[in-house]
Structure formats: C-alpha cells, structure tokens
Amino acid sequence: MARYLVFYGSYRRDRQGIRLARYLVERFGERGDHVELVDAQAVGLPMLDRMFKEYAEDDAPRAMADLAAKIVAADGFVFVTGEYNWGVQPGLKNLTDHFLEEWFWRPAAIASYSAGRLGGARANSQWHAILSEMGMAVVSSTLTVGQIGQALDADAQPTGEGGAALDKAFPRFASDLSWWAEAAREQRRRQAPPY
C-alpha cells in the first residue's frame, strides 16, 4: 500500500479541523496505507525566510530536515485546510512553502472544511493551483466538509448528515489518490523525472 502524509495547518486555539485530519489518517490506515499526520503547529517552522534547499547541507533546522526526508519518502499527500476570509490557511501555506523539489512528481489530494455550509470550497480551489505550481499532480476528487463541528465529533467519528456524506465520499477520494500514487511511483521507477 501507499505511504501518505496528511498535512494540517491551523494554529487557532479551538481547532475543529483537526477532526477531519484525524478522520483521514484513520480511514486511510483502515485501507492498509501507512499514514502520518503532519501538524504544522507541532512542527513549528518559522515564518519563511529560507527554504530547505537554501541551507547548507546539515545546516537546516532539525524539524525542517526531518520533514523534508518524510516528504521525499512519501507516495502522496493529503492537505487538510480550513478557509480564512475566502483564502488559504497561513500556517499550512507557510509550512508548504519551505519546500519545493521535495514535492515534485507526487500526487496530492485536498480536503477542506469550515464552520459554515460551503466546507472551505474556495480555499480548496485555491490549493489546487498552489499545489500544481509546486510540482504535485493534484487529483480531481476533493472533500469539502461543511459545519465541521456537527459532521465529526471530538473523537473524529462521523455524525449526522454531514458525517454520512463524508463517509460516502471518502472511498472515491482515497481510490483516486491511491491510483495516482501507484502510477507516479511506478513511473519514477521506470524513468527519472525530466527535471
């Protein structure tokens, strides 16, 4: 099965979106995938000054170097994002921008959420362009979870209509990412990336 990193980027005090990140880690794990949650707040990278590649070898901060190695070893990524004023979360964007070539030639999927009905759809759409520009193949299946506090409980278990909709949408989302992860892994084995 695949090795995935699930990225979560909220720095807010009451982080309800962590429920969606934990839900995804659990569900991908149930499929047999190796999944790790990368919480931008816990990683604690500074505001972007120098990218990982701009440090001399063995000179980057330990957390940055460790994360770079995990990104390179992964088959694919899931970005879990809230929506701030019709835009992307600054914490997740900051973490993502510390790297570039590490992301290349791997698929990414986007799961967004909000307290309102739209489920972070605008940020979801913006992340598609950002991740594509950073060299990832962004899969077409996305998840949007509105009214996050009602769709997933404190233990990241689905509740109500929103939770049922999430459970129904997850298999296609996971299968889409899995197909692209396998395709990209096999292509990297056959042929070196063109740049």
**What are the pLDDT digits (tens) for 50-69?**
999 999 999 999 999 999 99
Q: Is residue 186 part of a domain?
A: yes
**What does the block give as tokens for 195?**
């740049």
pLDDT at 192: 84
pLDDT at 53: 97
Total domains in the chain come to: 1
- How does pLDDT run across 174-191, given as a tens digit for each residue? 999 999 999 999 999 999
Q: Is residue 10 part of a domain?
A: yes
Domain that holds residue 29: 3-190
What are 121's strand-pairing partners?
none
Kindly give, in sequence order, each residue whose CB lies less than 8 Å from that of residue 117, ignoring residues fewer than 6 positions away: 146, 147
Phi, psi of 158 (to 5 degrees): -65, 140
Q: Is residue 195 part of a domain?
A: no
Which segments in the chain show pLDDT lower than 50?
none
Query: The domain spanning residue 62 has which CATH number?
Result: 3.40.50.360
Is the Cβ–Cβ distance between 28 and 20 less than 8 Å? no
Of 115, 127, 102, 106, nearest to 8 by C-alpha is: 127
Q: What is the reported pTM?
A: 0.96
What are 79's strand-pairing partners?
7, 110
Distance CA 86, CA 42 (A): 25
Q: Is residue 79 part of a domain?
A: yes
Q: Is residue 139 part of a domain?
A: yes
Q: Is residue 144 part of a domain?
A: yes
Distance CA 17, CA 2 (A): 24
Distance CA 165, CA 133 (A): 30
Q: Which contacts (CB < 8 Å, 24+ apart) does range 86-89 have?
A: 86/122, 86/123, 87/122, 87/123, 87/126, 88/123, 88/126, 88/127, 88/130, 89/9, 89/10, 89/123
pLDDT at 31: 98
Residue 79: CB atoms within 10 A of its CB come to: 30
Kindly give, in sequence order, each residue whose CB lies less than 8 Å from that of residue 90, ignoring residues fewer than 6 positions away: 9, 11, 84
